[in-house]
Amino acid sequence: MTGTYRPATAILALGDEFYDPATPADFPQTILRYHDEDAAGALGLKLDDDDWVRHFGRFEALPDNLSEPLALRYHGHQFRQYNPEIGDGRGFLFAQLRDGGGRLLDLGTKGSGTTPYSRRGDGRLTLLGGVREVLATRYLEHLGVNTSKSFCLIETGEELTRGDEPSPTRSAVLTRLSHSHIRFGAFQRQAYFQNRDNLAALSDYCRTHFYPDTESVEGMFAQVVARSADSVASWMAAGFVHGVMNTDNMNITGETFDYGPYRFLPHFDPNFTAAYFDHQGLYAFGRQPEAMAWNLAQLAQSLSLIAEDQALIDAMDSFAPLYQAALNTHFLRRLQVESRGFDEDVTLVRAIFKFLLESQTPWPDAWHDWQGGAGRADTPQLHDYRGAAYDDWLELLKHHTPTGEKPDTERPASLLYDEIGALWEPIAADDDWSAFENKLKSFDRA
């Protein structure tokens, strides 16, 4: 064991205006399909297969932890429409614990059954939905995105009906490990009820546990802006389209989570949209920074009940420069070259965008081919590497010193929509999980 198990039921201090007790569904089956043993070990949890199922399929409480799961209360803007009827409708907070560094972590579920917030939903998650979240978290982690982890995925033996999957379709329950499950929408809910005391209590909770080096709500908001700007910038470098950037899917810690109809870019297209129901392209690839800023403005609006307006406005004003700086950092990191200062980095980033737009080089290949700034001679994409935009970009790239790291993987790692379909097929047809497992291995560093 690497760590010691440290239960920490911090959420209870907030009191019962922030959550409702929830009862896990009694599933007909519980088959362990995926688990992150390293993550468990780091939390001091040594679990055999039966333990995984007992705690994360049957939801038997962890020792000295929450005695019952809690469905968290929140509201949110969904596609810019305020919805006061949401909340944890198919998930709950199951346990809280601290890692070796003392940071507070949540184990929360998706697909664990109905709650007071299920509305007309069944409270369930499809197995394909769970598989997609595991894949996204592992790939994004590989790409340097600050994401929740998939702690485990357990198939639950029910038949679900969904409009966006061939139905009946298989069911599962996913447990996530994340730095908080407090969404922007949790603040919006308190502001909606004009409850300043609860807003202050929620802010105190977040400051204490996630922003311990700030003493004010305003200071915390400034850091939320910085972390959110960094997150969305890391998506742009990853070619990740979240798909549903509603305020109820935005974590106060800036950690990316809640993976629904996300997609990864096949090639650069600012209008590329992930969710089939996003008819206006509101959350298209190129609009993600704007969507994040809009979400932060909603959070600011809520916090304005207990914070100084001007400080919140100043923090909002910091979003654009912070975003650009983070974009530089993440692009240079992916390219494995050194910075030459803000202005030159911006010029390089613009040149890459222009080149990728013009060449339409497959996104994962382009980054892989140019890691270290040298250009891979044996790439199948060689035919793309010509033309004015390419020449401009290469000229600028040459000025940046390689970091000297080795390429992150031997082949370009990717997770395109069709690839997910191809690895789901053998699972659906023959319960063959080898393609899924091989895909996860392809995200391991070379």
Residues with a known catalytic role: 248
Phi and psi of 411, rounded to 5°? Answer: -110, 155
Name which of 260 and 286 has its Cβ closer to ligand AMP. Answer: 260
Q: Does 258 bind Mg ion (CB under 5 A)?
A: yes
Residue 195, C-beta contacts closer than 8 angstroms, at least 6 positions apart:
17
CB 234, CB 146: distance < 8 Å: yes
DSSP 340: -
Name which of 255 and 258 has its Cβ closer to Mg ion. Answer: 258
Name which of 160 and 325 has its Cβ closer to ligand AMP. Answer: 160
Pick the binder of ligand AMP from 35, 73, 124, 132 (CB under 6 A).
124
Which x/- pattern over 197-236 shows residues binding ligand AMP (rule: CB under 6 A)? Answer: ----------------------------------------
The structure tokens listed for 248 are 């109820």
Which partner in Mg ion, ligand AMP, none is near 148 (CB below 5 to 8 A by kind)?
Answer: none
Q: Does 113 bind ligand AMP (CB under 6 A)?
A: no
Q: Cα separation of 154 and 133, whole Å?
A: 13
Burial 333-350 (b: 16+ CB within 10 A, else e): bbbbbebbeeeebeebbe
The distance in angstroms from the start CA to the end CA of the chain is 26
Number of residues that bind ligand AMP (CB under 6 A): 15
Among residues 47, 27, 31, the alpha carbon closest in space to that of 427 is found at 31
- Return the SS3 of 350: helix
Which partner in ligand AMP, Mg ion, none is near 133 (CB below 5 to 8 A by kind)?
Answer: none
Name which of 69 and 412 has its Cβ closer to Mg ion. Answer: 69
> Residue 119 is which amino acid?
R
Q: Cα separation of 89 and 123, whole Å?
A: 6
Q: How far is the CB of 76 from ligand AMP (least distance, A)?
A: 8
Name which of 246 and 359 has its Cβ closer to ligand AMP. Answer: 246
Which partner in Mg ion, ligand AMP, none is near 121 (CB below 5 to 8 A by kind)?
Answer: ligand AMP
The neighbour count for residue 229, using CB atoms within 10 Å, is 25
Residue nearest ligand AMP (C-beta atom): 121
Q: Does 90 bind ligand AMP (CB under 6 A)?
A: yes
Residue nearest Mg ion (C-beta atom): 258
Which partner in Mg ion, ligand AMP, none is near 260 (CB below 5 to 8 A by kind)?
Answer: ligand AMP
Q: Does 106 bind Mg ion (CB under 5 A)?
A: no
Please say whether the dihedral angle defined by the alpha carbons of residues 117, 123, 127 and 128, taken in this order, is positive or negative.
Answer: negative
Q: Does 249 bind Mg ion (CB under 5 A)?
A: yes
Q: What is the DSSP string of 34-55?
A: EE-HHHHHHTT----HHHHHHH
Q: Does 123 bind ligand AMP (CB under 6 A)?
A: yes
Let me know the angle formed at the C-alpha of 436 by 234 and 245, rounded to the nearest 5 degrees: 35
Q: Cα separation of 417 and 89, whole Å?
A: 27
Q: Does 88 bind ligand AMP (CB under 6 A)?
A: yes
> Residue 186 is which amino acid?
A
Q: Does 86 bind ligand AMP (CB under 6 A)?
A: yes
* Contacting positions for Mg ion (CB under 5 A): 249, 258
* Contacting positions for ligand AMP (CB under 6 A): 86-90, 117-118, 121-124, 244, 249, 258, 260
